[in-house]
Amino acid sequence: MDVRIISHTPDPDRVCAIAAALTHSKKKPEEIERLDDETLMSILSRVIDLGHLSVVEHASFTFAISGVSRALTHQLVRHRIASYSQQSQRYVRIEDARYVIPPSIERNEGLRKDFEELMERIWREYNRLLEKGIPEEDARYVLPNAAKTNIIVTMNARSLLNFFELRCCMHAQWEIRELAWRMLGEVRKIAPIIFKKAGPPCKTKGFCPEKKEECPWYPKRDRT
């Protein structure tokens, strides 16, 4: 997969810090804007630690994501507070077999070969339907969840923090977990204060909501 940030709120940490400072100050916004970075970042860190996350909604990030499966995007769009624009299978002909192979199948040479042959058969049938005059919107019914797709996603920082908490977890499905960690790596470059403690609860809060003690990331203190 390929994951890139193509747009974001300029200086998101500072924007959200100004919002945080404003809520507990008699000063006007233009006065708060003149505060130095060290003061503002300290305020933002403290507010985030207290769990007052509404201030980080003022920062948003737009990702260009390609080479992922439809199985992944079906999960991704369940995150409601976001905007999505996905490559259409109704208007775009996908004549060539483009698909994602799960690692559990990739590792098994025999199963991988069977999987690849099945994908090729599916795409042959898809193209046969198109050749028979079946419209793309109907021919696409034979395409699998493995079919590759591209999507543009915009989320505010608060939604992203929730997304990372759920999808960076070891119990998230492998493909969306990989996506989440890649997205987290990208936003940390741009907003290190907001996303400093982002990630699954076992890493950020020291507990496992799933209560899965067999997980290698399960917090040791939860075992006692």
Measured distance CA(118)–CA(122) in Å, rounded: 6
Measured distance CA(197)–CA(206) in Å, rounded: 12
Q: What phi, psi does 71 have (nearest 5°)?
A: -60, -40
Answer whether 16's CB lies under 8 Å from 39's CB.
no
Answer whether 40's CB lies under 8 Å from 17's CB.
yes
Measured distance CA(67)–CA(87) in Å, rounded: 11
Q: List the structure tokens of 127.
A: 């193209």
Of 14, 70, 158, 167, which residue is the catalytic one?
167
**Has 167 been annotated as catalytic?**
yes
Residues with catalytic annotation?
Answer: 167
